[in-house]
Amino acid sequence: AQSVTQLGSHVSVSEGALVLLRCNYSSSVPPYLFWYVQYPNQGLQLLLKYTSAATLVKGINGFEAEFKKSETSFHLTKPSAHMSDAAEYFCAVSDMGDFNKFYFGSGTKLNVKP
């Protein structure tokens, strides 16, 4: 089975600062990787996904992530944080061996300070 590790359950940045949320995965085969965002009292929304095309993936709201196979990582970045980015972010991997099974990380709550 796949697994996902998100380092840091809480990250705090100042408005305008770089956002870096870390995600590492374990997989015996090339995975599909996703970042989702959850705003308070809402369901999850897709930010971006990697499906074996370009390793640098651009998503919505200025976020991007880079797939690094050698590091088994898929870190999420945004050059300049905005107050509206405050939310919880989840990294997920899909298990190509078990079609349709997704494994989520435990989440990172991003706080943006004015």
Partner 1 sequence: IAGITQAPTSQILAAGRRMTLRCTQDMRHNAMYWYRQDLGLGLRLIHYSNTAGTTGKGEVPDGYSVSRANTDDFPLTLASAVPSQTSVYFCASSDTGSTDTQYFGPGTRLTVL
Q: How far is the CB of 1 from partner 1 (least distance, A)?
A: 8
20 binding partner 1? (CB under 8 A): no
Cα–Cα dist 105/25, whole Å: 9
Question: Using CB under 8 A, which of 7, 9, 16, 68 touches partner 1?
Answer: 9
With beta carbons less than 8 A apart as the criterion, state whether 33 and 76 touch.
Answer: no
Q: How far is the CB of 16 from partner 1 (least distance, A)?
A: 29
Cα–Cα dist 44/77, whole Å: 18
Q: How many CB atoms lie within 10 A of CB 60?
A: 10
What residues numbered 36-65 form the site for partner 1, per CB under 8 A?
36, 41-46, 49, 51
Q: How far is the CB of 82 from partner 1 (least distance, A)?
A: 23
Cα–Cα dist 1/19, whole Å: 29
Residues contributing to the site for partner 1 (CB under 8 A): 4, 6, 9, 32, 34, 36, 41-46, 49, 51, 90, 92, 94-96, 99-107
